[in-house]
Each structure stands twice: as structure tokens, then as C-alpha cells.
Structure 1
Amino acid sequence: MAILCIRQLIDKDFLLKFAKNLQHIRTRRILVIHNTKLEASTQSEIETFLNYCMQFKFLNVILVHRDFTETNIFHSLNQFPHFKLETRDLRTKSPIYPNRLANVAKKKLRVLADQIEPITMLYEIGDSLILEGYIGYFMKAFALKYNFRLWLPTMYEGTIVRVISMEEIRQAAHNGSIDVGASLSTPQKESNVHEYIYPIEFFQWLTMLPMEPQLETYYFFSSIFSPASLITIFLFSYWVCVLYRLQLSLRRKTLYWNRASLVLFLIPWNLDLLRGLLNQSTAIRLNSATRRIIFILVFAQGGALNILFSITMANWLTLPPHETPIESFDDVAERNLQIQVPEPDIAEIKFYCGETFWKQHERLFHIVKSVDEFQENIRKMDTRYGYLINTLAWPIIEQRQKYFKHPLFRLSESLYYTKGSLLSLPISENSMYKDLLSLFSLRSREAGLLDYWYKRTFYTMVYIGRFNLTDLSKNYRHEVLTLKEFEWVWITYSIGIGVSVLAFTFEWICYKYAYVHFRALLM
């Protein structure tokens, strides 16, 4: 309890000094002792003094006089819904400091909504202005519990058609134009954390990136027949053919270390044996154990390749793979992708990441003039851009994409601007509602109401037309055969033709040279 002894009730400067001593604790109980008798004080002086107390945001204050022990009379202030002087007798059973905030009798609670989805949204039905969004539900439930009447000050009536910046809301709370901002802001950016209630949310600034496009079907052949797999198949087939030729030569007893043996190692291919790679019939005679083992190996390799090809093709057509995901801001630059960011939020990026980060990556960002335009672009879900997003807005977008055949965007946690920050409601300094709002937020979180209001916001946004559930995704269809899918086939075929032409030219030159040289020797 704070006790104030005062000589003159109309000494406002003296009361102001006392208020400064009670900075941020003005809701405490205050006992004011006037150094004069009750009969010497006029009602107008008492009302003036208690009006000053109301201006300095004293909630629980009583005024007694020097002769209180004789009169048992004290005065108190009730400002709900309007100023009212109460004169009471101590001998009654009424409490000296009643809980004024239990029922504020429809007192106006001045609020200003930022209209940032999904936090708060305003829309009009006839002459009524409806506050929606999960913080909007929070404010309406708070007003209902304590019997407040939510009220948008007249000076801000023109803001119902646009997004309100956090700086504007903070300034309105700071200068006393509003009691509480129906918005969420981080106290970490402010020097005076007393202008915020207890933190309500924990959030992150991340990047919403378009889903990497599906690979075209013709990439299937280049992926399954990669250089490593082709080399492995070639080496295995080569040594199997070499073993087969060696076994055949040993059985016929025609193996000699001469030119024919060199040709055996250079060109060991046997077409009847290689048909086994395609699991085709062959004319090879399996009249020895070695030949049977070699033939089983070839057929086993052909069967494994056939199964691998079939499984990979089935998986490809069922769940088509995508391009390599973007994992860094350098990858964003390589893909020629830009990240949309509203101009007011550039300050947020600079605050969390620093000026150096912004100067280094500024070319990666597509700056949008206003938050209204930015929110409209997100609703359109233009996959030509990425978007600056926070963890409060992303679940709404993610739930919307559940109604699509294919999701268009994903949340990238590797492209972040802050790993975490706190969010809270901005209020006026020394607000008598601060503790009440903080307690209500804790109780709402404890009861699961905040989570419920957040989930409800998605359906509210659909109802008020912020977006619809139309499927914006594209239906990818796989053509049976296209010319593009034969690109690598034609490239490989062209390389083979080129090599064969070179081999033919080399052989023809060697033949002509040897033939001319041989004729010269004969002559």
C-alpha cells in the first residue's frame, strides 16, 4: 500500500511527483490522507483531486481526512464506466478496495487492429464493424468476460480499409490514444518493455519457397543410367565375356599367347551370351559347370537390371522426384528466384540480421510497397516468387494447401531471419489493464483457447472472403512418349555413329597405308 499525505487537494504538481514514484505500479492500493477536516473540504475539491487520480491512472485510491477516526467517512473513485465519486462509511460491510475490474459496466476499451492476417481482421456487416482473427477473438473474449465495450476511436475510423503499421499502433498506445493494440509486436525492439503485456506468442521469421518443380520424364533415363551404373554394367559384362571366351578356348585347347589372345581381351563380346542381359533365349550349349555359372551370372544381372528399371519407373510415375531443394540464399540466386518482402518489414530484417546481411542479399528481394499488396500476393500464391513469412501465418497457408492436389509452397527453415522472438500486445504505459490482460492471456493459453481461436481463424478467413479453397495447383500429366524424352537416346546414338565413323576411317587409312607399303615392298 502506498500512503500519500497532502495539504491541498488541488495541488496537481504534487500528485504528479507522487505518480512518478509509482511508475509502473499505479494499480497498487493508495491511501491519501488530507491534512484538514472533512467539513473544511468541498465536494468540488474532492472531485478535482480524484479526477487527477484518474488522469494519472490510479485504480485503487481512497481519500480520508484528518478527522477520519471521528467521522469514519472516506471517499473513493469509481471510473467504470465513467467518473463517479463514492462517499462511504467505514462501518458498513462493503469492501474498502473493491475489485473495480470484475465488471467495468460497458466501459469503452479503445483498440486499434493491425489487420495483418491471421492476427486481426476487420470487416463490415451493415453498420457493424466486426473484429476477427485469433487475437481479435482474444480481445472479444476479454471484453465479454470483464464487460468492456470494444471501441475504435473516431480518429482511426479511416484505417478499417488498410493494414496498420506496428509503429502507428505503438505510437497510439504510447500517447494514450488507445488502451491496447489488437496486434502482436516484439518487445525486444523497444526500449520500454512496460508498454507490453506478458508475451503471448513465440515466432520466427522464415522464408516460404515455391515447391521445386517435378523433373521431366526424360530425366529418368539419365538418372537410372548414370555414368557410374553404365561403367559398372560394362565392366561386369566385359569380364563375363572374357571368362566365357577363355573357358571356350581352354576347352578347345586353342589358347595361346599370341595375337589371337590379344584380340580375345580387346574384343571378347559374344552376342549369344549378351542376350542373357535382356533375359532372351540363347543358343549357347551349357555342357559344363563353368559355362552354366557364367550363364546364370549373366541372366541374374539381366533380371536385376529389369527389376530395377521397373521399380524405378513405377516410383517415378507414382511420386515424381523434384529438383534439388534450395538450402541457402546462394541457391536462391542460382535459381534466379526473388523473395517478396513488404517495404515496412525491411526494418525487421535489418533488426534481426543486421545491415550487412541486407546489403549482401538485397538483390534477392523483390520489395512490395505496402503490406496490403504483399498479403494480396500471398493469397494469389504466385510461384514465381518466394515470400517472407512468419510462423504465425504459415499454418494458415499450409492448411489451405491441403485442399490442393499438389502443394505449391513449402516452409524453408534454413532460410531464416530470426531463430525466435517473443510477441506481445502493445498497451499504454502504466495501463491499469496490463495485469488483467496478462492474466487473461495465461489463462487462455492454459485452457487451450488460443489454439482453438487460431484454428478457427482459417475458416473465418474463408467465410469473410480473404481467400477461397479453389485448387491453384497444376495437374501434371505424363505423356506416353515425347520427342524430349528421346533426347539422351539420340545423343547417345549420335556419339555411337561418330565413334563408328572414326573407327571406320582409321581402319580404312591403316588398310590403305599397309596395302601401299606392301606393294612398294613387292616392287
Structure 2
Amino acid sequence: MVNVVAVFQDFGISSVYYSCNIFGMFKIEEFIWNDKDSCVYRDKMRDLQNSTIPVVFPTEQPGMIISENVNGGETRIGGYVGNIFMTFAKRHNGRMNTLNVKAYLTEYDLLNFVLNETIEISGAGILVQEDLFEWHTFPYIYFDWGVMLPVEPNIPIYKVFAYVFYWEAFVIIIVIFMLISVSLDAAAYFLGSHRIFAVRDVFFNIDCFRGMLGQSFFESPRTFLTTKILYSLIFLFGIIIITSYNGFLQSFMTEPPREKTIGSFDDLQQYDIKILSKQTDIENVLKKLKPEFMNKYSNIFHSEISSQRYFKLRDSLDTKYAFPVSEMTWHVF
């Protein structure tokens, strides 16, 4: 309707043609064509005469950032998409209907609004569908798609104790303990205690065990230099073991280690976390464009029919789910 003219049969005599202006108050305009007039379709978009541009804005950040005065008044539209429309309206003496800010609209809702001519253009990105793209064109932007995951949880407290000592250190401590036990029993035997030692007493000296745990233990009143050195080693290892254990334990309690980092979809299959996505995205994008991908990873997706519920869960950062986000939206989060 912007670029349309009407002529009557007497145009060759009268040179009169008609057009209309749909901006402001609708009116029919009459023009007389002459040889010097090279402009038949005048630039009516130059002055929109304060008309409202038919566009719908979803509240999808960062493309659209909506702010309202808490005391009432003007609703402001920002964001990189919102600023484009607001600048266009200001440049051409038009205005945006801020009441047309619709929450929880999907790309497919906006596509239908454009197709049924409810609006002229969408105020947000629209997914390109091959079967419709040849008939309609829209502003578009290329972006990367990713999955926003909750931070890996801390390991349970009972598992912390297993992380305190590496198994290599535990084996070394056991070997040292057995060597000192054997040495102590051998020293006691050669000092005159000719009792018969059981095998378990030789390799598990209770005094050595208590000493390496930092506890007091019985010392023989008749000691030589060798025995004193063994006692000193027991004291030394007891201090090292107890201090190291407490140090590791305190550090883990202060900042417990986390579960394994999820670095791929294969890792995600091992956790009880589902990717919550809009049902329309799963049906129209993933299943259509990535059938091999969905055949392998369909079990990690959970579809949500309600767009309102989906946006509410995603924007509240519900850690029960992972959420697909675009590269630009990720910067906002």
C-alpha cells in the first residue's frame, strides 16, 4: 500500500494519477505527471507522521531490554534490536507502540504474526525455515548455539575423606609402618627380650601404630642409639601424617572438590541433568536439521510446551536443568 498508484482512462489527456498515504490519517493524494517529474513513487517513509509502526517486541534479552518507570509512565525499549527500531522511528517521525511488548513469545509465534500480516516485521530474531524462507524475508543474525549448564556440585562430605590421601601416599605409609614395626621388634629381641613374636605382632607393633597416629606410647627403659632413632622416626612420621591429614582435610572442607566437569554431550548423559528446550525448537530445529544428533542424544532432552514456563525456569537459573542459549544471550547470563 505504500507504493501504489491509480490512473483512469483519461490519463493520456489529464496526466492525473492518484496515490494514497497510509501514515497518519489515511488520505487519497492527487498528482499531475509531466515530463520533468521523474518521481512517481514518492518516498512516503521519510515522514511517518507520528504513525505507530506495527511491530511486536518479545522480552528476549539482549535483543530487547524493556524498562518501565516504577511510578508509572513511559515504557522504554532498549537492547540492540530495540535500539534499531527506536532509532528508525525517531529518524522517520514515527513511534513504537510500547504496549506491543509481549512476554514469552517464541520465534514461531512471531513468524505467524508476520505471515498473517498482524505485524509488518518482527522485533526479534526468527529462525529461518527453508519451506517458508523463499516466500518471506526477515532481518536475521548468525549466532552460535550452546548449552548453559549448572556449576558442577560439590562432592558429598563422606567422599572428602577419601580425597585426603592419595593411594600412593597411603601405600608408602603402610610400608614405612611395617618396616619400623619389624625394626622395633628386632631391636627389642636383641636387647634381651627373648619372647616369641607372632607374625602379626612383628608387622603390626601397637606402640608404633599409636605413635604414628600422634598418640603417646610405651618406650622401653633400656634403649640404645638404634632404638632412639626408631622412636624419633615414629615421632617425625606421626607429626607429618597428622599435620598433612589435617591440612588436606581443612582445605577440602573450606572449598570441597567438585564433581567431574561436563565437557561434552557424552559426559552429560552420565548425569541426571536434562536439557530443557521448547518443544517447537526440538521438533523444528533439532529433529529436522540434526536427525543424527537427536538419534544419539534424544534421552538428554526434555521438551517444554509452555513458552512462559520455559522462560521462567531459564531466567531463574533453575539448576535442575541445562538450557540452550545463544552466544549473545550467554553474555547476559
Report SS of the residue matched to 1:164: coil
In the TM superposition, what whole-angstrom CA distance separates every residue of 1:30-77 from its partner, at most 9, and x where no partner exists?
Answer: xxxxxxxxx9663423x46x99xxxxxxxxxxx873xxxxxxx33425
Residue 116 (structure 1) aligns with = 60
The 8 Å contact of residues 58 and 102 in structure 2, kept in 1 or not, is answered as: no
Report SS of the residue matched to 1:393: helix
Report SS of the residue matched to 1:356: helix
Q: Over aligned residues, Cα RMSD in angstroms?
A: 4.3
Residue 514 (structure 1) aligns with = none
Deviation at 1:239, TM superposition (A): 1.4
Q: How does 1:14-25 map to 2 (within 5 A)?
A: none
Counterpart Cα distance in 2 of 1:117 and 1:226: 47
The 8 Å contact of residues 344 and 371 in structure 1, kept in 2 or not, is answered as: no
Residue 220 (structure 1) aligns with = 160
Which of 322, 340, 360 is the matching residue for 2:276? 340
When normalised by structure 1's length, the TM-score is 0.48
Which of 236, 239, 256 is the matching residue for 1:303? 239
The 8 Å contact of residues 114 and 166 in structure 1, kept in 2 or not, is answered as: no
Deviation at 1:115, TM superposition (A): 3.3
Deviation at 1:161, TM superposition (A): 4.6
Residue 147 (structure 1) aligns with = 92
Counterpart Cα distance in 2 of 1:286 and 1:183: 90
Pairing 1:279–2:253 present: no
Residue 76 (structure 1) aligns with = 39
Which of 274, 281, 287 is the matching residue for 1:350? 287
Residue 241 (structure 1) aligns with = 181
The 8 Å contact of residues 174 and 195 in structure 1, kept in 2 or not, is answered as: no
Which of 40, 44, 47 is the matching residue for 2:16? 44
Report SS of the residue matched to 2:94: strand
Residue 464 (structure 1) aligns with = none
Q: 1:180 to 1:266 in 2, by over 3 A?
A: same
Counterpart Cα distance in 1 of 2:51 and 2:40: 15
The 8 Å contact of residues 107 and 149 in structure 1, kept in 2 or not, is answered as: yes
**Which one scores higher on RCO, CA 8 angstroms, separation ≥ 6?**
1
Counterpart Cα distance in 2 of 1:188 and 1:304: 67
Deviation at 1:302, TM superposition (A): 1.7
Question: Could you say which structure has the larger radius of gyration?
Answer: 1
Report SS of the residue matched to 2:54: strand
Residue 203 (structure 2) aligns with = 268
Report SS of the residue matched to 2:144: strand
Amino acid at match of 2:89: A
Deviation at 1:308, TM superposition (A): 1.6
5+ long unaligned stretches in structure 2: 1-5, 22-32
Amino acid at match of 1:114: P
Amino acid at match of 2:246: S
Residue 87 (structure 1) aligns with = none
Amino acid at match of 1:276: G
Q: 1:193 to 1:240 in 2, by over 3 A?
A: farther
Which of 129, 132, 135 is the matching residue for 2:81? 135
Counterpart Cα distance in 2 of 1:280 and 1:303: 10
The 8 Å contact of residues 206 and 390 in structure 1, kept in 2 or not, is answered as: yes
Residue 435 (structure 1) aligns with = none
Amino acid at match of 2:299: R
Q: 1:281 to 1:151 in 2, by over 3 A?
A: closer
Residue 504 (structure 1) aligns with = none
Counterpart Cα distance in 2 of 1:286 and 1:237: 22
Deviation at 1:187, TM superposition (A): 5.4
Report SS of the residue matched to 1:373: helix
Q: 1:115 to 1:242 in 2, by over 3 A?
A: same
Deviation at 1:374, TM superposition (A): 0.6
Q: How does 1:21-40 map to 2 (within 5 A)?
A: none
Deviation at 1:375, TM superposition (A): 0.7
Residue 149 (structure 2) aligns with = 209
Pairing 1:195–2:165 present: no
Pairing 1:387–2:326 present: no
Counterpart Cα distance in 1 of 2:63 and 2:156: 40
Amino acid at match of 1:267: V
Counterpart Cα distance in 2 of 1:236 and 1:304: 13
Counterpart Cα distance in 1 of 2:236 and 2:135: 73
5+ long unaligned stretches in structure 1: 1-8, 12-38, 52-62, 66-72, 83-100, 398-523
Counterpart Cα distance in 1 of 2:134 and 2:244: 65
Q: 1:300 to 1:191 in 2, by over 3 A?
A: farther
Deviation at 1:175, TM superposition (A): 7.4
Residue 306 (structure 2) aligns with = 370
